[in-house]
Amino acid sequence: MRRYSIFTLARNALTGHRDWPRAWRSPEPRSRYRVVIVGGGGHGLATAYYLAKEHGIRDLAVLEKRWLGGGNTGRNTTIIRSNYLHDESAALYDHALRLWAGLSRELNFNVMYSDRGVMMLAHNPHDVQIFKRHIHANRLNGIDNEWLTPAEAKAYCPPLSIDRTARYPVAGAALQRRGGVARHDAVAWGYARAADSLGVDIIQNCEVTAIRREGDRVTGIETTRGSIAVEKLGIVVAGHSSILAEMAGFRLPIESYPLQALVSEPVKPIFPCVVMSNTVHAYISQSDKGDLVIGAGTDQYVSYSQRGGIQVIEHTLEAIVELFPIFSRMRMMRQWAGIVDVTPDRSPIIGRTPVRGLYINCGWGTGGFKATPGSGHLFAWTIARDEPHPVNAPFDLDRFASGRLIDEAAAAAVAH
């Protein structure tokens, strides 16, 4: 890998930026790999990177049905935070947050992680109580999260309206200062480039059509670009997890819903942080490009359509305009949906499956982007050692039989 630096930038500027090398190869799939990762989104590429870097597994390929980061990695609102209620979740998401801090340097790729703070608004006594409970639980887990009065919230985010006559007035806010945003495409590209440089084959336009088993062990896969024999198979395909699990002969506690987001026309810097409100259902930040990035809710029914209903974004925009009257005349430019894999307890599944040699990382639902580095790091450990890392051990598939659920429904930003 040719390193990116100020010197290579200057050198390439002299030649009109015509001589940059490709960031990763585009190899033909081989007929056998020790490990294959299905899914070339952020989580899958991160898994491949850490497998190669920390576990020395280089006989490794990532298969992507379409293009890298074209699924939920490229469709989310890029919010990063770790102020989850339960100890298991706090450990999981903070593991990722600590990796975010050094990620650009680690990958030699600017992922534009910006810890501008994530502020979650409370609108009623119940919100105030639950957020304060979160803050206390977070403090016990060593995770920063602090309470702001309405005036302090307004000082942190000046466009916010704290008008007491609003339909849902702001009663206060919980602020995680280490939270923020990152550039979603750059995360996929950075991991892809770094993994490729360690010898990982990244194969796009390659869809898995069948999973081969001998007894209870996985032996290979059929793809649109031929058969591949594998020793171990990792599935990281978000909304399509149930489809892949069915190919392998087991069921998942997952339903897939379209989750919508939209962006406005670009404007000059106006919005300094991330603001979320579970109660009125809105979340918003401003990208470095200048557009407001707005997250809406899921549809109420299972779907793979990647569209979403218009009433869902109407609902969110009503809330945005009430919280930020300054944006009432902004024009929205684009709207889309990603298919999110929602579990009954709104916590992910990272671990082994009933099929030996087959591992799954799914169920991140409406909030997986924030966990990308941690998810890949832990999943790589799980695949390489055939046992979970202590951080992801509670997030196994067996918890749905044992009843030891990790209920984060209240922490999820999106109303389900």
CA distance 152 to 161: 12
Smallest separation (angstroms) from other proteins to the CB of 402: 7
What's the closest the beta carbon of residue 360 comes to other proteins, in angstroms? 14
Q: Residue 149: beta bridge partners?
A: none
Nearer to other proteins by Cβ, of 149 and 311: the residue is 311
Shortest distance (Å) from residue 186 CB to other proteins: 30
Q: Please state the φ and ψ torsions of residue 256, each to the nearest 5 degrees.
A: -105, 125
Residue number with CB closer to other proteins (179 or 239): 239
Tell the smallest beta-carbon distance from residue 338 to other proteins (Å).
15
Return residues touching other proteins (CB under 8 A).
Answer: 240, 242-243, 246, 251-256, 300-305, 307, 309-311, 344, 400-403
Name the residue with tokens 């918003």. 284
The residue (of 41 and 374) whose beta carbon lies closer to other proteins is 41
Token reading at 223: 């793809």
Task: Tell me whether residue 193 or residue 281 sits nearer to other proteins (CB atom).
Answer: 281
Is the distance from CB of 208 to CB of 241 less than 8 angstroms? Answer: no
- For other proteins, the closer of residues 119 and 247 by Cβ is 247
Q: How many CB atoms lie within 10 A of CB 182?
A: 25
| Tokens 């206390």 found at | 136
186/254 with CB nearer other proteins: 254
> CB 215 → other proteins: shortest distance, Å?
19
Give min distance, CB of 243 to other proteins, in A: 6
By C-beta, is 196 or 299 nearer to other proteins? Answer: 299
Q: For residue 313, give the nearest of 277, 259, 369 by alpha carbon.
A: 259
Please give the Cα distance from 319 to 313 (Å, whole number).
10
Q: Which residues pair with 255 in a beta bridge?
A: 342
Element (DSSP H or E) covering residue 175 = strand 172-176
Q: Each residue of 21-51: b (16+ CB within 10 Å) or e?
A: eebbeeeebeeebebbbbbbbbbbbbbbbbb
The two structure tokens encoding residue 234? 């990792």
- As measured in angstroms, the least distance from the Cβ of 389 to other proteins is 24
